[in-house]
Amino acid sequence: MSELEPFEYETGTAIRDYDIIEIKPTETGYEVTLDVNLDSGYSLSKTKLEISQEDLEGYETNAVEEGIKYALGFFS
C-alpha cells in the first residue's frame, strides 16, 4: 500500500456531537477516545484526541471534559 500525501483543506464539516469513551492520563496531559458524529451524517469511531495540560491552562480550566469541549470548538 502506498503512502498517502496529506491534502490541505480550508474547511470541513462541523461536529454535531461526540461521546467520550475513555480518558487516559499521559505524561503531558490526556489521551481521549471519542466517538464523533459529523453534520455530514458520517461518524468517526474510537477517534483519539491528545490534550495537554498546557491546552487546559489555555482554556482556563482543570476539567478535562471542558477542555475537550473547547478543543472541538464547542464554546458557549
pLDDT in tens, 19-45: 999 999 999 999 999 999 999 999 999
Q: Is the pLDDT of residue 66 over 80?
A: yes
Measured in degrees and rounded to the nearest 5, phi and psi for residue 55 equal: -60, -45
pLDDT in tens, 1-20: 568 887 887 888 899 999 99
SS3 31: strand
Instruction: Tell me the CA distances in angstroms from 14 to 2, 10, 18, 70, 73, one per residue in order.
Output: 29, 13, 11, 14, 9
| Angle, CA 46 vertex, CA 9 and CA 19 arms, to 5° | 95
* Domain boundaries defined on the chain: 15-71
Is the pTM here over 0.85, yes or no?
no
**Rounded distance between C-alpha atoms, residue 24 and residue 20, angstroms:** 11
